Amino acid sequence: MKPVLEVKHLSKRYILNRQQQSYLTIRDSLSGFFKRSQKKEDFWALDDICLDIFEGDIVGIVGKNGAGKSTLLKILSRITPPTLGTIVARGRIASMLEVGTGFHPELTGRDNIYLNGSILGMRRKEVNRNFDAIVEFAGIGRFVDTLLKHYSSGMQSRLAFAVAAFLENEILIVDEVLAVGDAEFQKKCMAKMGDISHSGRTILFVSHNITAIETLCKKGALLEKGKLTAFGAIGSVISKYTSNEAACGGSNGRYTFEGFEKESVVSEIEFICDGRHSETLAMGGEFEVRVHFKSVVELKNPMLGLIIYDEFHAPVLFFNNNHYGVSFTKGPTKGGVLKVRCPSMLLMAGNYSADIYLSTPFVDLDIKKGLLFRIEPKHFLEHGEMLPQRHNTFFMKDLEWAYEPEHYSA
Amino acid sequence: MRLQMEYVIKPKSDLSLGLEELWEFRELFFFFTWRDVKIKYKQAVLGIFWAILQPLFMTVIFSTLLGKAINDQTHLPIPYPVFVLSGLLLWGIFSGGMTNAADSMIANANIIKKIYFPRLVIPLSAVLAACVDFLMALAIFFAMIVWYQVPVSGAGIWVIPLAVLQASVAAAGVGIFFAALNVKYRDFRYIIPFLMQSLMFLTPVVYPVSIADNGVVQKLLQLNPMAGALELFRGVFRDYIINWETVGASALSCAVFFTVGIFYFRKAETHFADIA
Cα A350 to its chain centre, rounded Å, is 19
**Pick from B31, B185, B273: CB nearest A79:** B273
Mutate to test the interface with B, among A70, A80, A173, A204 (most CBs of B within 10 A): A80
Nearest to A351 by CA among A397, A389, A312, A387: A312
The domain in which residue B79 lies consists of: 20-275
Nearest to B70 by CA among B205, B230, B196, B217: B205
Nearest CA in chain A to B40: A106
CB contact under 8 A, A101 and B110: yes
Q: Do B274 and A106 touch (CB under 8 A)?
A: no
**Contact between B36 and B124 (Cβ < 8 Å):** no
HSE on the CB side for B80, CA within 13 Å? 20
* Chain A nearest C-alpha distance from B52 (Å): 23
Cβ within 8 Å of residue A8, ≥6 positions away: A50, A85, A86, A87, A88
DSSP string, B72-85: HHH--SS-HHHHHH
Main-chain phi, psi angles of A84, to 5 degrees: -140, 160
CB pairs under 8 A between A and B: 107
Q: Do A81 and B117 touch (CB under 8 A)?
A: no
Domain residues of chain A, as ranges? 5-244, 251-376
Distance in Å, alpha carbon of A18 to nearest chain B alpha carbon:
15
Lowest mean pLDDT among A3-12, A98-107, B14-23, B49-58: B14-23
For residue A405, count CB atoms less than 10 angstroms from its CB and return exposed for 0-12, middle for 13-18, buried for 19 or more.
exposed
Q: Could you please report the per-residue DSSP string of A109-148? A: HHHHHHHHHHHTT--HHHHHHHHHHHHHHHT-GGGTTSBG
Domain count within chain B: 1
**Inter-chain touch A123–B10, beta carbons under 8 Å:** no
In a domain, B34, yes or no: yes
CB A46 within 8 A of CB A226: yes
Residue A86, strand partner residues = A8
**Contact (CB, 8 A) for A198 and A216:** no
Nearest beta carbon to residue B31 from set A82, A118, A170: A118
Identify any residues that bridge with A7 across adjacent strands, giving them in sequence order: A51, A87
CB contact under 8 A, A24 and B275: yes
Residue B15 domain flag: no
B14 in a domain, yes or no?
no
pLDDT tens, residue by residue, A153-209: 778 888 888 888 888 888 888 876 555 556 677 777 778 877 887 888 888 988 767
On whether residue B191 sits in a domain, the answer given is yes
The separation between CA A5 and the C-alpha centre of its own chain, rounded to angstroms, equals 25
pLDDT of amino acid B3? 43
Average pLDDT score over chain A? 82
Between CA B223 and CA B246 the distance in angstroms is 7
**C-alpha span between A271 and A280 (Å, rounded):** 9
In a domain, B149, yes or no: yes
Q: What is the pLDDT of residues B12-40, one digit of tens each?
A: 655 666 777 888 888 898 999 999 888 88
Domain A5-244 identical in fold to domain A251-376: no
Q: Domain spanning A251-376: which superfamily?
A: abc- transporter (atp binding component) like domain (2.70.50.60)
Give the orientation angle of helix B26-40 with respect to helix A109-119, to 10 degrees: 150
Which of B15, B25, B35, B194 to mutate against chain A (most A CBs within 10 Å)?
Answer: B35
Residue B64 lies inside a defined structural domain of this protein: yes
The reply to whether B72 falls in a domain is yes
Residue numbers in B near A77 (CB within 8 A):
115-116
Strand partners, A269: A255, A291
Cβ pair B112, B105 in contact under 8 A: yes
- CA-closest candidate to residue A72, choices A80, A64, A241: A80
Taking any CB pair shorter than 8 Å as contact, residues of chain B touching chain A are: 2, 4-13, 25, 27-28, 31, 34-35, 38-39, 42, 108, 110-117, 184-188, 270-271, 273-275
Whole-angstrom distance, CA of residue B105 vs CA of residue B273 = 10
CA of B235: how far to CAs of A276, B95, B155, B165, B231, in Å? Answer: 83, 21, 7, 15, 7
Q: What backbone phi and psi angles, to 5 degrees, belong to A152?
A: -75, 160
> pLDDT tens digits for chain B (276 residues)?
344 467 777 776 556 667 778 888 888 989 999 998 888 887 667 777 877 888 899 999 999 998 888 888 888 888 999 999 999 999 999 999 999 999 999 889 888 888 888 889 999 999 999 998 898 888 889 999 999 998 888 888 889 999 999 999 999 999 999 999 988 887 888 889 999 999 999 999 998 888 877 788 888 888 999 999 999 999 998 888 888 989 999 999 999 999 999 989 988 887 777 766
Q: Do B116 and A79 lie within an 8 Å CB cutoff?
A: yes
Q: Would you call A385 exposed, middle or buried from its count of C-beta atoms within 10 A (0-12, 13-18, 19+)?
A: exposed
Strands A93-96 and A171-175: parallel
- A297-343: per-residue pLDDT in tens? 888 888 999 999 887 778 899 999 988 988 888 888 888 899 999 99
Domain A5-244 has CATH 3.90.1150.10: no
Q: Which residue of A has its CA nearest to B119?
A: A79
Give the bridge partners for A171, in sequence order. A93, A202
Residues A243-283 have pLDDT tens digits of 766 544 446 777 777 654 555 688 888 898 888 888 888 88
**Buried b / exposed e along B53-88 (16+ C-beta atoms within 10 A):** eebbebbeebbeeebeebeeeeebebbbbbbbbbbb
Residue B222 domain flag: yes
- Chain B partners within 8 Å of A107 (Cβ): 35, 38-39
Where helices occur in B41-155 by DSSP H, the ranges are 44-65, 67-74, 80-107, 109-112, 121-147
Identity of residue A355:
D
Yes or no, beta carbons of B39 and A104 under 8 Å apart = yes
Q: Name which of B8, B28, B108 is nearest A87 (Cβ-Cβ).
A: B8
Give pLDDT tens digits for B216-235. Answer: 888 888 899 999 999 999 99
Do the Cβ atoms of A138 and A119 come closer than 8 Å?
Answer: no
pTM over 0.80: no
Rounded to an integer, what distance in angstroms lies between the CA atom of residue A257 and that of residue B199?
Answer: 48
Residue A50: which H helix or E strand, with range? Answer: strand A41-53
The band of A238, judged by pLDDT with boundaries at 50, 70 and 90, is confident
